[in-house]
């Protein structure tokens, strides 16, 4: 039986806003150059839906475009995200590596469960060396339903997890925790929304607070 800490990536471990606007603007500049878009890049709209699977992103941002245009934009956007990560334009939240190191030393098994796509997640994990502490990184691509709860359920089943936490900034992370009998820790970070966080078991303003929760709460499921 393993006690686990399952982290979301975007807006939880990785400061997605450090590369998001750049990559999204690059993708929409390409659309503008092709005559497929007029006006400003819809940054605010994306912030409101941050954390949903990418197919939903493009259905929202490009509701009147053909599927082929959405798919091409998705491919280009992903390429620009990865290149920006590799170029060092992104950043982890303060204290990420120290926290992961401490959790690992305490005997917790660490996972990442993200709505991000595999090449994007691999770029972050590789660039920052997160595999030193993270047992496995899971992408929503691995689940046909594109449901974060099902993704966490796969981790729980594969590693026989009975006790643990899901740490994330959006409602999908909180719901995924509760659906799998785990404790939900909501992060009041860049993309979070207070009405969603209220459904979490704990709310934190910084990742170091996770250690306090672990020290004071006995997990029993």
pLDDT digits (tens, 9 = 90+) for 85-126: 999 999 999 999 999 999 999 999 999 999 989 999 999 999
Q: Does 98 lie in the same domain as 74?
A: no
122 and 32, same domain (yes or no): no
Which of 67, 86, 105 is the last residue before a domain boundary? 86
What CATH number did the domain enclosing 160 receive?
Answer: 3.40.50.1000
Mean pLDDT over the full length of the chain: 93
78 lies in which domain range?
17-86
Same domain, 123 and 46: no
Lowest mean pLDDT among 6-15, 50-59, 144-153, 155-164: 50-59
pLDDT at residue number 2: 54
Q: List, as own/partner pairs, every contact residues 14-18 make where C-beta atoms lie below 8 angstroms and the sequence separation is at least 24, other chains included.
A: 14/90, 14/91, 14/92, 14/93, 14/124, 15/90, 15/91, 15/92, 15/93, 15/190, 16/50, 16/90, 16/190, 16/191, 17/190, 17/191, 18/89, 18/90, 18/91
């Amino acid at each position: 039986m393993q006690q686990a800490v399952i982290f979301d990536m975007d807006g939880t471990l990785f400061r997605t806003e450090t590369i998001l606007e750049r990559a999204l603007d690059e993708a929409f500049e390409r659309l503008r150059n092709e005559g497929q878009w007029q006006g400003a890049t819809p940054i605010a709209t994306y912030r409101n839906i941050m954390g949903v699977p990418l197919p939903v992103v493009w259905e929202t941002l490009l509701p009147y475009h053909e599927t082929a245009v959405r798919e091409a934009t998705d491919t280009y956007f992903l390429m620009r995200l990865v290149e920006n990560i590799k170029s060092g334009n992104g950043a982890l939240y303060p204290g990420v590596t120290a926290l992961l190191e401490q959790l690992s030393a305490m005997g917790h098994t660490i996972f990442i469960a993200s709505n991000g796509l595999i090449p994007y997640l691999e770029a972050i994990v590789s660039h920052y060396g997160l595999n030193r502490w993270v047992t496995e990184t899971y992408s929503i691509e691995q689940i046909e339903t594109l449901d974060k709860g099902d993704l966490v359920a796969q981790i729980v089943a594969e590693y026989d997890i009975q006790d643990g936490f899901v740490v994330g900034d959006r409602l999908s992370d909180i719901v995924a925790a509760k659906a799998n009998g785990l404790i939900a820790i909501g992060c009041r970070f860049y993309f979070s929304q207070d009405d969603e966080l209220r459904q979490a078991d704990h709310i934190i303003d910084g990742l170091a607070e996770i250690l306090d929760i672990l020290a004071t709460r006995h997990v029993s499921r």
